[in-house]
Amino acid sequence: MYRSFPATRIQLRRRRQLQFAGNFVAASMEAPGGVRSIGKGTQTSCSATDKHVPWWRQRDALVLAACLTTLAIVILIVIVTLTTAQASDAASEHNHTENSTEVSVDAEFILPDGRPIIRRSEWSSVPPDYRRTLRHPTPYVIIGHTADNVCRGKDECFVLLRIYRDEHRAKWLQPDITYNFLIDVEGNVYEGRGWDTTNNYLSWAKRCNLGVTLMGDFRTDNVTTTMMQTLLQLLDLGLSLGKLDPNYRLVAQNQVDASLSPGNNVLKVIDTWPHRCLYDCNVGVQCIYEDNDEIDA
């Protein structure tokens, strides 16, 4: 039989250490959330599972990441919105400026009823030899006719316009076709010298008039209603643009030179129009530009 000896202090100490370690492990495994009880106090401890969970999956990290992501998205949306708005404003301003320029230029070539005036560049590629500026507002409008064949539309009238241009340059030593505007029997308006260039009518209206010519011989031909309505439209446009004086005087070509132009069939219509001047049309109007021989480049 073995003889038992009383336990030494070292052995008792080891037993207490082993017992404490066993109690610690058991408490750690049983306590929820990794909280172990040590005597009367408690202490938080990470479990073995928590030690292997990535930081971005922990609740606080996820909340922080979500907040940062949301903030980044909001900032991105704001930047995109501001950039788009600025681009839109710039485009609108550019379009507005561009459209305003187009309107200011095109307005001189659009009749009040919306029909276009056919520009000189459409029927002539020969530039004028020179020009003198017609000052505005212009006090006189002189109505004449070509005393030639009637024409209808571009195909017919372009041919005549080129003939007039070449004849006026060769025969009368003019820098260009004489007339400022021409109108055919269908009511089409053709630019000659245009709004801003003087013509070669002399006498008291020299370099102070806008010359409008009807294409045809209206000593024998009858004017058309469309032609005369278009003439009124052109005169109204000249007023609205400030090209014509509000009190301009409408005279016939035979009042400023020895001519039968514009023909009796035209005179019968225009004699009842507003602004029509029949007598003493040079009285009370001073043409201050008649002696201006300055040639524009």
Cα separation, 289 vs 282, in Å, equals 14
Q: Checking DSSP bridges between strand 181-183 and strand 189-191, what pairing results, if any? A: antiparallel
Q: What is the pLDDT of residues 196-220, one digit of tens each?
A: 999 999 889 999 999 999 999 999 9
| pLDDT reading at 138 higher than 70 | yes
CATH T-level topology, domain 120-270 = Lysozyme-like (3.40.80)
Cα separation, 113 vs 195, in Å, equals 19
Helix (H, G, I), strand (E, B) or coil at 199: coil
Q: What is the pLDDT of residues 226-243, one digit of tens each?
A: 999 999 999 999 999 999
Q: What is the pLDDT of residues 160-178, one digit of tens each?
A: 999 999 999 999 999 999 9
Which amino acid appears at position 180 of this protein?
N
Share of the chain above pLDDT 90, in %: 59
Cα distances (angstroms) measured from residue 15 to each of 2, 11, 18, 123, 180: 22, 6, 5, 122, 127
Q: What is the pLDDT of residues 14-56, one digit of tens each?
A: 566 556 545 544 444 444 444 444 444 444 444 444 455 565 5
Which amino acid appears at position 92 of this protein?
S
**SS3 per-residue string spanning 101-143:** HHHHHHHHHECCCCCECECHHHHCCCCCCCECECCCCEEEEEE
| Domain residue extents for the chain | 9-52, 55-105, 120-270
Cβ partners under 8 Å of residue 211, min gap 6: 141, 142, 144, 178, 179, 180, 181, 192, 193, 199, 201
| pLDDT reading at 222 higher than 50 | yes
Cα separation, 13 vs 133, in Å, equals 124
In the structure, what pLDDT confidence band is assigned to residue 97 with cuts at 50, 70 and 90? very low
Q: What pLDDT is attached to residue 176?
A: 97
Q: What is the pLDDT of residues 232-288, one digit of tens each?
A: 999 999 999 999 999 999 999 999 999 999 999 999 999 999 999 999 999 998 887
CB 26 within 8 A of CB 20: no
Q: What pLDDT is attached to residue 24?
A: 47
